Amino acid sequence: MATTQTTPRDSSSPRGSNTPRKPRPPRNTNTAPRKTRTNTRFAYDTWGIALCALGLILLATLLGAGTNSGDNFLGRTVVHGFYLLSGVGAWVFPFVLLALGGMLAIGKSRSFDNMGALGALYVLFIAWWHLGRVGGMKLAYHFLTDNLVNGGGYLGGGVSWLLRMLVGVFGAHVVFVALVGIGILFLVDVPLPSLLGPVERFIAEWTGKGKEAATAQAKEAVEKARKKPAAAPTERKPLVQPPPSVFKRTTPEPLDDDLELDEPTTDAPPRSQPTLFSFRKEKPEAPAPSPRPAATLEEDEDEEPTTPVVPVLAPAVPTRGEPRPGMAAFVLPPTALMAPSPPAPANVADGESEERRQIILQTLEDFGIGADVADVAYGPTITRYEIALERGIKVSKIVSLADNIAMALAAIDVRVEAPIPGKSAIGLEVPNAKPRGVSIRECLEAPEFVNAPGKLTFVLGRDVTGAVKVADLAKMPHLLIAGSTGSGKSVGLNALITSLLYRNSPRELKLLMIDPKKVELSLYEGIPHLASPVITNVKQAPSLFKQALREMETRYDKFAKLGTRNLEGYNAKVEEAERIPYWVIIVDELADLMMTSGPEIETSICRLAQLARATGIHLVIATQRPSVNVITGTIKANISSRIAFAMNSAVDSRTILDQTGADRLIGRGDMLFMPIDAGKPYRIQGCFVSEHDTESLVNYLKEQGTPNFDVLPSTLSLSTGDDDSGEGEADDDLFESAVRLVVTGGSASTSMLQRRFKIGYTRAARLVDLMEQRGIVGALDGAKPRDILIARDDLDGMFGKTGVFET
Residue numbers belonging to the annotated binding site for ATP? 483-490
Give the 3-state secondary structure of residue 194. helix
496, 686 contact by CB (below 8 A): no
606, 574 contact by CB (below 8 A): no
Question: Parallel, antiparallel, or unpaired: how do β-strands 617-623 and 247-248 relate?
Answer: unpaired
CA distance 149 to 79: 11
CA distance 797 to 740: 12
Question: Parallel, antiparallel, or unpaired: how do β-strands 617-623 and 479-482 relate?
Answer: parallel
How many residues does this entry show for the chain?
807
Q: Find the DSSP H helices in 189-305.
A: 192-207, 209-226, 232-235, 295-300
Q: Which one, of 304, 329, 328, lies nearest residue 318 by Cα?
A: 329
Torsion of CA 416, 420, 426, 427, to 10 degrees: -50
Three-state secondary structure string covering 703-756 = HCCCCCCCCCCCCCCCCCCCCCCHHHHHCHHHHHHHHHHHHHHCCCCHHHHHHH
123, 158 contact by CB (below 8 A): no
Which pairs count as long-range contacts for 130-138, CB under 8 Å and 24+ apart, including other chains?
A: 130/87, 130/156, 130/157, 130/159, 130/160, 131/160, 131/163, 131/164, 131/169, 131/172, 131/173, 131/176, 134/160, 135/164, 135/169, 135/172, 136/169
Sign of CA dihedral 188, 190, 195, 198: negative
Q: What is Dmax (Cα atoms) for the chain?
A: 134
Question: Parallel, antiparallel, or unpaired: how do β-strands 415-417 and 426-431 relate?
Answer: antiparallel
CA distance 738 to 790: 14
State the DSSP H helix or E strand holding residue 415, giving kind and residue range, or none if neither: strand 415-417
Question: 139: which residues sit within 8 A by CB, 6+ positions away?
Answer: 161, 164, 165
CA distance 280 to 661: 33
| Start-to-end C-alpha separation, the chain | 91
What DSSP character marks residue 594? Answer: H
Strands in 254-356 per DSSP E? none
173, 129 contact by CB (below 8 A): no
Give the 3-state secondary structure of residue 377. strand
Question: 600: which residues sit within 8 A by CB, 6+ positions away?
Answer: 542, 545, 779
Q: What are the φ and ψ backbone dihedral angles of 452, each rounded to 5 degrees?
A: -70, 135
Question: 518: which residues sit within 8 A by CB, 6+ positions away?
Answer: 536
CA distance 352 to 338: 34
Strand partners, 672: 644, 683
CA distance 718 to 534: 17
766, 732 contact by CB (below 8 A): no
Q: Which one, of 620, 676, 614, lies nearest residue 476 by Cα?
A: 676
CA distance 402 to 416: 7
CA distance 308 to 517: 35
